[in-house]
Amino acid sequence: MTHGTNRDSLAFARETWRTLEPYHGAVYFSPEAAARYAELGVDARTGYFASRSAALGAASADLVIATFYNFNPQLVRRAVPAAWEAATPQRFAAARLAGIDATLRRVLGPEVASPEMARAAELARAAAESAVGHPQGRPLFAAHAALPWPTAPHLVLWHAQTLLREFRGDGHVGALLTAGLSGIEALVTHAAAGDVDAGVLRDSRAWSPRQWDEAVRRLREGGWLDAGPHLALSEDGARRRAEIEHTTDRLAALPYLTLGPAACAELCSLARPFSLAVAKELLPWAVARLGGAASD
């Protein structure tokens, strides 16, 4: 379905996704969302697993492990299915939406009702809806695509990016599987590329230092990493990781190719201020990617 793509088209598709991703990702760091999960009787981490998987129904731990991919299975098993004893998936999904609604209203203020927001929501929804007819092999995307659309433009934009994010994420899991990388090994290569601190990736997914070191050893033996004292990709590892990213971009391109480069450029221009405001508030590491300054 993405035949005929070239690197230029993949570049504008990737840029559009990267520009809007902080707008979606705010939900994972939202104090308002965490407060809604607490009202249901769970902590923020359990709320993350329950709210993101709620679209699947009362998912088993194994299903969440399979679809989320890079978390320590023991962490998932502590959260699921116990979360469904605290509240139904429908209540977790509602709590997630209420939480991000409150966060976006707090951070963006009157901009949630601006003409720019309405137009960005229209464009993002068109991109997301173009992917709905292609759910094959994309379980998280398909589940979220079956949820009802919200009506407020700022939530339409958020839900659209949620769909586009899960569409891309499901494809990325397929690329990792094809490359033979487990969840923890994918995290190690991500850290070795220098994008994110290794400790942050390891601890946020609840892998122990021993498990991490074992994954590093396997990847060194497999030629992914340099043999030196620092965590770094080998030349071959960098090539293989670039192939994974290219495959992910190719598998994720359909919605953006359907929207077209001019509309994608318009969407980026409209949404960048919203993403930047959210990033400055909740995701400071993402500010530079959006062309902003953390001290602004």
Q: What is the pLDDT of residues 5-58, one digit of tens each?
A: 676 789 999 999 999 999 999 999 999 999 999 999 999 999 999 999 999 999
Mean of all residue pLDDT scores within the chain: 94
Tokens of 161: 């990016």
The alpha carbon of residue 99 and the mean position of all alpha carbons in its chain are separated, in whole angstroms, by 17
Position 139 pLDDT exceeds 80: yes
The pLDDT, as a whole number, for residue 195 is 81
List Cα–Cα distances, 41 to 27, 49, 53, 192, 291, in angstroms.
Answer: 18, 14, 17, 38, 39
pLDDT band at 294 (very low <50, low <70, confident <90, very high): very low
Q: Is pLDDT of 291 > 90?
A: no
Mean pLDDT of the 106-130 span: 98
When computed from its CA atoms, the radius of gyration of the chain, rounded to whole angstroms, is: 19
Which residues are 225's β-sheet partners? 233
Is pLDDT of 181 > 60? yes
Give the CA angle between residues 108, 114, 115 to the nearest 5°.
Answer: 145
- Is pLDDT of 97 > 60? yes
State residue 70's pLDDT score.
96
Predicted confidence band of residue 292 (pLDDT cuts 50, 70, 90)? low
Q: Enter the tokens of residue 37.
A: 């999960």
According to DSSP, the residues that pair with 233 across neighbouring strands are 225
User: 1 in helix, strand or coil?
Assistant: coil
Indicate the range of 76-80, 211-215, 225-229, 244-248 predicted with least confidence.
225-229
| Helix/strand/coil for 284 | helix
What average pLDDT does range 225-252 have in this prediction?
96
Query: How many Cβ atoms sit within 10 Å of the Cβ of residue 242?
Result: 12
**pLDDT given for residue 1 in this prediction:** 43
pLDDT value at residue 295: 34
- The answer to whether the beta carbons of residues 123 and 270 sit under 8 Å apart is yes
Tokens of 151: 């009506």
Question: What is the predicted pLDDT for the residue at 5?
Answer: 65
- Determine the pLDDT at residue 89: 98
Is residue 253 helix, strand or coil?
coil
Query: Please, how many CA atoms are within 13 Å of residue 73, restricted to the half-sphere of its CB?
Result: 8
Q: Are 77 and 61 in contact (CB under 8 A)?
A: yes
